[in-house]
């Protein structure tokens, strides 16, 4: 979401810059009685003076704008996945979340008979919760748990870590 | 612009769009007081009014266009700037050592580049073979800046040993520069050391 926000802001900035300059240039063209530069002024004027507020097109546009606004609000107000996780190693120390997930998935993958492991780590207050999904015999769960816990210890994860492991015999299709 | 700044900006835009969409829908249905749903979007005599107030109509429009362009330019610059907080710039060494001469006028002044100090700390950190890359940012003002460090570390690196090494490097940095970091913010990125998927 952070990258999407930055790209959207860049796009908005370019639109404001270009649109503002175009508006100023068109207004200057009107003042100097010059022909339109890019915008067909007559056509726009005719459309805006003949379309009524109650036109169904306006209703459709209003709904689209409202829904877009709500979607933007929802994406901004929901809880974002943190980029990094605090570790109790020392004050100010953090681990990059994705790199932790890669390490845990790698640890699970190294257990014989386990493959395609995927990991998800989230922060809950001072502790982490980890979820591992992999393809393999469910009886290998204790070995996977041991390998993942070892990796968490090595990464100096908080001691009260919650660990959820699910091994399935077949690759699940999403 | 920081991630938090962008989040606030888009929350405000989301609110405005939602309010605008709702108001336009209500007006379209004829329930918004003062708005006649049979009226055109723009009053047809608008062009006459625009011409009648000449030259103020085009002047106001040009000013509005330039204001929007300025806002766009400002937003663009803020998006392209690397750090959210201003980096600690060059500083007079007396900010760290204090005036040695009794009357405050020494034989000269020494200017220290904040970026050179950050480069020095980066080089010191990467002397440890467990650290493949380090990025350091100094923000705030001397003599008590905030030090932000991003480390790319080997999967074999024990974090407790790494912490001791980093602390020793920061202590050396403080001893040589005279700066006293008021806050350390360290993010370690552990190299994958193999392929695995995350979800």
Residue B30's pLDDT is what? 85
Which of chain B's residues have a Cβ under 8 Å away from the Cβ of A103?
155, 190, 192-193
Angle (CA) B195 B197 B199, round 5°: 160
Share of chain B above pLDDT 90, in %: 34
Of A53, A68, A87, the CB nearest to B39: A53
How far is the CA of A90 from the CAs of A86, A94, B50, B73, B80, in angstroms? 9, 9, 66, 41, 33
Say which residue, B130 or B93, is predicted with more confidence: B130
Is A174 an 8 Å CB contact of chain B?
no
Residue B170's pLDDT is what? 92
Spans in chain A with pLDDT lower than 70:
160-161, 171-174
Say which residue, B31 or A68, is predicted with more confidence: A68
CB contact under 8 A, B159 and A87: yes
CB contact under 8 A, A106 and B19: no
Question: Which helix (DSSP H) or strand (DSSP E) does residue B165 occupy?
Answer: helix B159-177
Q: How far apart are CA B102 and CA B79, in angstroms?
A: 47
Of A54, A64, A87, the CB nearest to B37: A54
Residue of A nearest to B58 (CA): A27
CB contact under 8 A, B192 and A55: no
User: Confidence class of residue B195 from pLDDT cuts 50, 70 and 90?
Assistant: very low
Residue B196's pLDDT is what? 46
Helices and strands in chain B, H and E counts: 6, 6
Highest mean pLDDT: which of A10-19, B85-94, B142-151?
Answer: A10-19
Q: How far apart are CA B6 and CA B1, in angstroms?
A: 7
Residue B116's pLDDT is what? 84
Which of chain B's residues have a Cβ under 8 Å away from the Cβ of A89?
159-160, 163
Is B28 an 8 Å CB contact of chain A?
yes
Angle (CA) B29 B33 B36, round 5°: 55
Say which residue, B78 or A171, is predicted with more confidence: B78
User: Confidence class of residue B95 from pLDDT cuts 50, 70 and 90?
Assistant: low
Residues 132-191, chain B, touching A (beta carbon < 8 A)? 155, 158-160, 163, 167, 183-191
Q: What is the ipTM of this complex?
A: 0.70
Is A62 an 8 Å CB contact of chain B?
yes
Whether the CB-CB separation of B112 and B145 falls below 8 Å is answered with no
Residues 134-153, chain A, touching B (beta carbon < 8 A)? none
pLDDT above 50: residue B187: yes
CB contact under 8 A, A84 and B187: yes
Residue B197's pLDDT is what? 47
Which of chain B's residues have a Cβ under 8 Å away from the Cβ of A24?
61-62, 64-66, 69
Q: How far apart are CA A158 and CA A85, in angstroms?
A: 10
Q: How far apart are CA A139 and CA A125, in angstroms?
A: 32
Is B84 an 8 Å CB contact of chain A?
no
Report, as an integer, the average pLDDT of B158-172: 89
> Which CB contacts under 8 angstroms, 24+ apart, belong to B7-12?
B7/A5, B7/A76, B9/A9, B10/A5, B10/A8, B10/A9, B10/A72, B10/A75, B10/A76, B11/A72, B11/A73, B11/A76, B11/A77
């Amino acid at each position: 979401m952070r990258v999407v926000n930055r790209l959207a802001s860049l796009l908005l900035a370019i639109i404001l810059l270009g649109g503002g300059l175009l508006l100023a240039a068109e207004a200057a063209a009107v003042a100097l009685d010059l022909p339109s530069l890019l915008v067909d002024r007559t056509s726009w004027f005719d459309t805006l003076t003949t379309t009524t507020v109650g036109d169904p097109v306006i209703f459709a546009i209003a709904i689209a704008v409202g829904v877009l606004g709500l979607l933007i609000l929802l994406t901004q107000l929901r809880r974002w996945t943190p980029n990094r996780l605090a570790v109790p190693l020392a004050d100010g120390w953090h681990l990059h979340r994705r790199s932790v997930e890669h390490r845990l998935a790698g640890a699970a993958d190294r257990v014989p008979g386990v493959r395609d492991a995927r990991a998800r780590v989230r922060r809950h207050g001072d502790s982490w919760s980890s979820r591992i999904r992999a393809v393999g015999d469910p009886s290998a769960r204790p070995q996977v748990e041991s390998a993942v816990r070892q990796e968490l210890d090595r990464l100096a994860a908080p001691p009260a870590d919650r660990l959820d492991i699910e091994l399935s015999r077949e690759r699940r299709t999403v | 612009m920081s991630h938090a700044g962008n989040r606030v900006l888009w929350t405000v835009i989301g609110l405005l769009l939602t309010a605008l969409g709702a108001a336009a829908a209500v007006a379209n249905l004829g329930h918004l007081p003062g708005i006649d749903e049979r009226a055109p979007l723009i009053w047809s005599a608008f062009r006459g009014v625009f011409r009648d107030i000449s030259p103020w109509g085009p002047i106001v429009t040009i000013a509005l266009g330039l204001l929007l362009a300025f806002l766009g330019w400002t937003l663009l610059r803020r998006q392209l700037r690397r750090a959210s907080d201003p980096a600690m710039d060059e500083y007079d060494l007396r900010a760290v050592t204090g005036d040695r001469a009794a009357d405050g006028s020494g034989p000269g002044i020494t200017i220290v580049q904040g970026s050179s100090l950050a480069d020095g700390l980066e080089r010191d950190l990467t002397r440890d073979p467990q650290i493949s890359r380090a990025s350091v940012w100094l923000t705030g003002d001397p003599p008590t800046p905030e030090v932000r460090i991003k480390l790319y570390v080997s999967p074999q690196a024990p974090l407790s040993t790494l912490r001791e090494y980093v602390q020793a490097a920061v202590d050396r940095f403080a001893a040589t520069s005279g700066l006293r970091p008021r806050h350390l913010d360290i993010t370690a990125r552990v190299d994958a050391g193999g392929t695995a998927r995350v979800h």
